[in-house]
Chains A and B, each alone.
Chain A
Amino acid sequence: MTQQPATATATFDRLLRDLPATLARIRAGDDLAGLARVALAVLALSAAVFGAVLGAHRGGLQILYAAVKLPLVFLFTAALCAPALTALNAALGRRADLRRDLALLLVALARVGLVLAALVPLVRLAPAAGASYHMAVLLVVLACALAGLVGVFTLWRGLRLAAPDAAGLAAAGLLLVFSLVGAQMAWTLRPWLLRPRAPEPVFVRGLEGNFLDALGTTADSARGHYVRPEAPVPAPWPAEGRR
């Protein structure tokens, strides 16, 4: 029997409005390449729009930089984490299939992108409503957390549909890996909003430690223990003497 793949528009429509049908398509392995193309396009476009809005906080070149970098964060993280999902599935005795797992991950991320795109007006209008730089950062974190919840829910449903056994454990494992890799990727490709005191937009900053180091430093700063008298002025990458 010849299989005629669904059009990209129909696939996008199902991605938006009929998640069970999309997940059933992944489980059946029906035209996964077509589904992946649409999911990639949706993810890249929506992440670029959200990135542009982040960059618009500073304006100028930063809009372009952030619009290019945010899709890269998602795409590189997905590329690194999809094999982890397949490995987790195999380790937990579930059906492990790289193509299906990658398709599920891309669909979950495409829905994350769609939620981020839906929140664009809120993030864009926050400065107009008097939100400071730090408030804007918090708002972006909240938007990402909300979108992440939608992604986790999609992933969990997809894993559960494929095989109910240990679906929660596989989703939790991937969430841990994805969070760590994604956070480090976003950290590596910063800045996003750009601090008000930063002189000029740069594509990426110097590689100053890693995300976990920064988390520790931030936690110390929040308790009033500062490791340096003031925040450094960021240097463009590649910086002299970077680690």
Chain B
Amino acid sequence: MNLASLALLYALVGLGCACVALARRRFADALLLAALWPLVGPFLLLAQAPADLVAPDQHEAAFLAALRRASGTPLASLLPDAATVRALADRLRVAAAKVTEIDALLARPDFDEAAAAARHAALAARDASETALSAAAMRLQNIRRLRALQRRFTRELEEVGELLGQLTMQAEVVRLAGAPDASTAELVRELVCRVEGLDAVLDDGPDPPGMAPGAARA
């Protein structure tokens, strides 16, 4: 294949990419794609990978985007500095990654709670040895512990997500209406505390039944 054929092939692919962008009514992108499709095509044409939609980075991206959006508003004076933001974003990422990891574990057949309970009951019914019974009980307990962890992480992340949504809206209100009020300051503080509190959630593990979150530490 000579240079002319290569150039023709390049132009044809670029034209195809540009047509896709035009069909989506993205005219500026169509020009960019026609000329530089190998570089901008992955960003503009490829759908976001399914993994991304549930990736741990989802919360981090939302958090960073919310803070960046608020950086030009009067809300900026209430926001944490860049290093703290990065540390907070890291915590969010770690927490979300834990949830994904636990989800994957609980999806495995050997982590099936019903099967583990049935196995324990069967051992107890046929008068198995104390060691075997104890091991089965421990396995069941660990699975339940993981489920509790998953519920707790998910709940915390959902709450952080809601706060992020609220902060995003508040940032727009502050941008249009002027100086932030006390409720905005309170919201920012709560959001930062919640994200910082994820560390404690990660360290504590599940709450014992009947105890409020965080009470186990005390």
Contact = CB atoms under 8 A, between A and B. Distances in A.
Interface of A: 1-4, 6, 10, 18, 20-21, 24-25, 27-33, 36-37, 40, 75, 78-80, 82, 97-99, 102-103, 106
B174 interface: no
A98 B42 contact: yes
A102 B42 CA distance: 8
B62 A1 contact: yes
A33 B44 contact: yes
Binding site of B, secondary structure by majority: helix, strand, loop or mixed? helix
Contacts of A37: 32, 40
B36 A75 contact: yes
Interface stretch (B53-61, B112-120, B189-197): B53-61
Closest CB pairs A-B (n = 8): A79-B38, A28-B61, A33-B43, A30-B61, A28-B60, A1-B165, A28-B57, A3-B65
A40 B40 contact: yes
B164 interface: yes
B39 A29 contact: no
A25 B82 CA distance: 13
A216 to B, nearest CB: 24
B43 A99 contact: yes
Given A6-B68, A37-B32, A79 B39 contact: yes
Interface of B: 32, 36, 38-40, 42-44, 46, 48-49, 52, 55, 57, 60-62, 64-66, 68-69, 82, 86, 89, 161, 164-165, 168
Contacts of B86: 20, 24
Nearest to B166: A1
Given A30-B64, A33-B44, 18 more contacts: A1-B62, A1-B66, A1-B165, A1-B168, A4-B65, A20-B82, A24-B64, A28-B64, A29-B55, A29-B61, A30-B61, A36-B43, A37-B32, A37-B40, A40-B40, A82-B39, A98-B46, A106-B39
A78 B57 contact: no
16 contacts: A1-B164, A2-B168, A20-B86, A24-B64, A24-B89, A28-B60, A28-B89, A30-B61, A31-B65, A37-B40, A40-B32, A40-B40, A78-B39, A80-B38, A102-B39, A106-B39
Contact of A21 (B39, B48, B82): B82
B57 A29 contact: yes
Contacts of B62: 1, 3
Binding site of A, secondary structure by majority: helix, strand, loop or mixed? helix
A40 B32 CA distance: 10
A119 B62 CA distance: 38
A75 B60 contact: no
A222 to B, nearest CB: 31
- Most chain B beta carbons < 10 A, residue from A18, A30, A82: A30
B82 A18 contact: yes
Contacts of B161: 1
Contacts of A18: 82
Contacts of B61: 3, 28-30
A106 B86 CA distance: 22
A99 B164 CA distance: 25
B60 A36 contact: no
Contacts of A4: 65, 69
A24 B82 CA distance: 11
Contact of B36 (A31, A40, A82): A40
- Most chain B beta carbons < 10 A, residue from A1, A25, A98: A1
Contacts of A24: 64, 86, 89
Nearest to B165: A1
Contacts of B38: 79-80, 82
Contacts of B42: 82, 98-99, 102
B36 A32 contact: no
B24 to A, nearest CB: 13
A25 B64 contact: yes
A103 B43 CA distance: 9
A80 B36 CA distance: 12
A44 B66 CA distance: 30
Contacts of A33: 40, 43-44
Nearest to B38: A79
